[in-house]
Homo-oligomer: A and B are copies of this chain.
Amino acid sequence: MSSIPSGELAERIRQTGARRIVLQIPDGLKRQAVPLVRALRAEGIEVAAVAGDPCYGSCDLSLDAVALTGADLLVHIGHAPVDEREGVLFEHLPFDFDPAVVAAAVPLLTGPTVGLVTTVQHAHLLEGVAAVLGEYGIATEVADEGGRTPLAGQVLGCSYANARALTAPEILYVGTGVFHPIGVQMATQRRVIALDPYTGDVQEVSADRLLRRRFALIERARGAESFGILLSTKSGQARPALAERLLALSERAVVITMREVTAAEMTNFGCGAYVNTACPRLAYDDQVRFPVPLLTPQEFEILCGVRAWEDYAIDEI
């Protein structure tokens, strides 16, 4: 992708009336931070600081850096907002691909209508994708539920509202990786096709293997002498009421607040298992990094006997 457009960004910042900003950039783009600061300074923007903590989403706003430096605006690059915030300018970065690539998915689509979902950086291309599918006689449906996913058709690893709202029996995910489409499948129980728009690879995804692993983890966690209920302190990941409710389910449970959930911090506490109320992806996608089971809230409810196995549900915020 091209570098962050500093001229347009400076104009948007000026329009807010901000006097002094803090810049927040996701980890994969941090190398562009120093050149961007210089370009913004050349445009007359006062940059008090760049936020240097790890950042993977707009659920993790560096509001502490704004307060500390006396800035009056946080410019958050790369993500659409998961919640309403004053004093934050969200600048997500569109990543283009050629909508014609969706032709590769046509042989796997069975219905007359398909629902479309994607991630933030490709949401602007869904219209083009729909047009191409139309040429193949396939009708499309895109949901615009809002909430944590303000862009039409957008899904997040913590929110599948724009998938669940679809009525089509079949859903096409356009984007990289299988994490999001597996989430769509778990959240909707529909048939889900994933298309990588850069490689043209297309596949039907299934949550079965993930679910078998999760069920095994619940069993492994059962014998834990203590459970650490992880409570995130990040702006858009903190679920204190949920942590409190889970704490009440077991005398073996203790709430542990964490900013970054790491294997090192977990190991320090020595609990036999943990329960994740932070970013849902940590449990589903990062279990391999952790030495002991990291259960979702729903999985812990199953372990504690207050939820039936048949009522297994994906964790969303």
The chain A residues found within 8 Å of chain B, CB to CB, are: 22, 27, 30-31, 33-34, 37, 47-54, 62, 64-65, 68-70, 226, 228, 230-231, 233, 238, 240, 243, 254-260, 265, 268-271
Contact = CB atoms under 8 A, between A and B. Distances in A.
B256 A52 contact: yes
B238 A49 contact: no
Contacts of A22: 257
B255 A69 contact: yes
Q: How many copies of this kind of chain does the complex include? A: 2
Contacts of A51: 256-257
A52 B271 CA distance: 12
Nearest to A37: B254
B68 A254 contact: no
Given A30-B270, A34-B269, 10 more contacts: A48-B255, A49-B231, A49-B256, A51-B257, A52-B258, A53-B258, A53-B260, A68-B233, A68-B257, A69-B255
A131 B49 CA distance: 52
A51 B226 CA distance: 16
A54 B269 CA distance: 11
Contacts of A233: 53, 64-65, 68
A254 B33 contact: yes
B50 A255 contact: yes
Contacts of A52: 228, 230, 256-258, 265, 268-269
A278 B61 CA distance: 21
B47 A231 contact: no
Contacts of A34: 226, 228, 254, 269-271
B30 A257 contact: no
Interface hub of A33, A34, A271 (most chain B Cβ within 10 A):
A34
B231 A69 contact: yes
Nearest to A47: B254
A70 B240 contact: yes
A255 B62 CA distance: 14
A49 B265 CA distance: 15
A270 B68 contact: no
Contacts of A256: 33, 49-52
A269 to B, nearest CB: 5
Contacts of A30: 268-270
Contacts of A231: 49, 65, 68-69
